[in-house]
Structure 1
Amino acid sequence: MSAQDINEGLHYVTYGLYIVTTADEGKQNGLIVNTVFQVTAEPARVAISVNKKSLTHEMITKSRVFAAMPLEQQTPLPFIGIFGFRTGRTFDKLAKVPHKTGFLGCPIVTEHTLSYMEIEVCQTLDVGSHTLFVGEVKDAGVIKPQGTALTYAYYHDVIKGKTPAGATHL
């Protein structure tokens, strides 16, 4: 089986697009991920997958907290670009983005997001280029009660968004 065959098969796995944020030692950062999923209901636990080269990965590893917010389908590409096309190492992604500070200290983005979960990491799993962070939901809420979540397919097919070459370092 070729890598192309594998990638074609994986193309049918569905994903959403999420902003994941964190805070550590007075600094805040976030990025776009396509892997956020609930793993248990009691207690409520979710998992995210984050590239090890990203600043957000470093910060979650140290702080042991993160927030995850599904993006709404009508999110404009320039807004996605703030979290998906630039690195927090040289750019303050939250400087001009409406947000509040959550229960665990993570930024909760209040524009173009549907809801939020603030999570405390309880387990990690090294999966090669990424780390799977599993955590218990400590706070959650609805930001926009009506709306449709942005899927990865909609992002590519309708918005015509691309995956940036430097995405692994955001």
Structure 2
Amino acid sequence: MSIEEINQGLTYITYGLYIVTTIDGEKKNGLIVNTVFQVTAEPARVAISVNKQSLTHEMILKSRVFATMPLEEATTLPFIGTFGFRTGRNFDKLSKVPYKTGFLGCPIVTEHTLSYMEVEVCQTVDVGTHTLFIGEVKDAGVLKRDGKALTYAYYHNVIKGKTPKGATHS
């Protein structure tokens, strides 16, 4: 089976689009991911998948905390680009984005996000190019009750968004 056939099959898996933020001392950063899922209900645990080349990955490894926020369907491509098309190594992604500081110190982006979960990492799983960060939800809340979650399919088919090569270094 070719990689093209495998990739075609994978396009039918449904995903959302999420902002993941973290801290490392005074430095804050974030990126866009499409893999966030609930692992357990009691205690409430979630997992995220983050590319090992990204600055956010390095920062989560050090701080052992992250926040994740599902994006709303009405999110604009330029807003997504702030977190997905540039690296935080040479660009302050949060400089012009409204956010509040969460319970664990992570930035909670308040524009174009529906809810948030702030998470303390309790386990990591090496899956090759990515790491699964599994953690316990320490704080959560709803930011917008009337929004609809942005799916990866909507992003590609309606917004016409692409995944740039440099996105892995976010």
Q: Which bin holds the TM-score, normalised by the shorter protein?
A: over 0.9
1:93 aligns with 2:84: no
Unpaired segments of 5 or more residues in structure 2? none
In the other structure, the counterpart of 1:8 is 8
| Unaligned ranges ≥5, structure 1 | none
- CA RMSD between the two structures: 0.4
SS in 2 for 1:120: strand
State TM-score, norm by structure 1.
0.99
- 1:72 is aligned with what amino acid? E
- DSSP-derived class of the 2:165 partner: coil
Aligned pair count reads: 170
Q: Which runs of 4+ in 1 moved over 6 A?
A: none
SS of residue matched to 1:62? helix
1:165 deviates by 1.1
Matched, 1:84 2:72: no
SS in 1 for 2:146: coil
TM-score, L = length of structure 2: 0.99
Aligned counterpart, 1:63: 63
Amino acid at match of 1:152: Y
User: What is the 5 A alignment of 1:99-138?
Assistant: 99-138=99-138
Counterpart amino acid of 1:100?
Answer: K
What is the identity, as a one-letter code, of the residue corresponding to 2:55?
A: L
Match of 1:147 in 2: 147
* Partner Cα separation in structure 1 for residue 24 and residue 80 of structure 2: 23
Helix, strand or coil: the match of 1:135? strand
Q: Which amino acid aligns with 1:78?
A: P
What is the alpha-carbon distance in structure 1 between the residues aligned to residue 86 and residue 7 of structure 2?
26
Which residue type is aligned with residue 31 of structure 1?
L
- Work out the CA distance in 2 between the residues paired with 1:2 and 1:80: 31
Q: Distance in 1 between matches of 2:118 and 2:152?
A: 22
Secondary structure of residue in 2 paired with 1:93 = coil
1:133-162 deviations in Å (ceiling 9; x for gaps)? 000000000000111000000000000001
Q: Which residue of 2 aligns with 1:22?
A: 22
Name the CA distance, whole Å, in 2 between partners of 1:112 and 1:168.
Answer: 22
- Which one is further off, 2-11 or 67-76? 2-11
